[in-house]
Amino acid sequence: MDLFSSLEGNQSLKLDEGITAQNIEQVKQGVRQSIAMANAQELIRRVNDACFKMSVPAPGASFTRAEQDSVSRCVDKYLASWDVVAQTYVARLQREGK
């Protein structure tokens, strides 16, 4: 049982305590947004680490055209790969959940 289903199934919450279904939904939405933001930040950090290290062997005051092109290609490939992995993972979770 996850956090959200335990909140929904908790019959001991009383409206006179100031907790409403709307409050619970707002908290759940806030948690979802926070998780999505953390995931996006982690993806950006990983792309930056991988692509910068591979594409810019000797950092200087500016990027060369070759470095810019290399970073761009790396980011495109990294994100495409990440998308395939994410889709495969979701499909697997859905198969195993049935």
**pLDDT tens for each residue of 45-55:** 999 999 999 99
Judged by DSSP in three states, 15 sits in helix
CA dist., res. 65 & res. 54, Å (int): 15
Classify the phi-psi angles of 62: left when phi > 0, otherwise alpha if psi is within -120 to 50, otherwise beta: beta
Question: Which tens digit of pLDDT belongs to each residue from 60-76?
Answer: 899 999 999 999 999 99
Is this prediction's pTM over 0.85? no
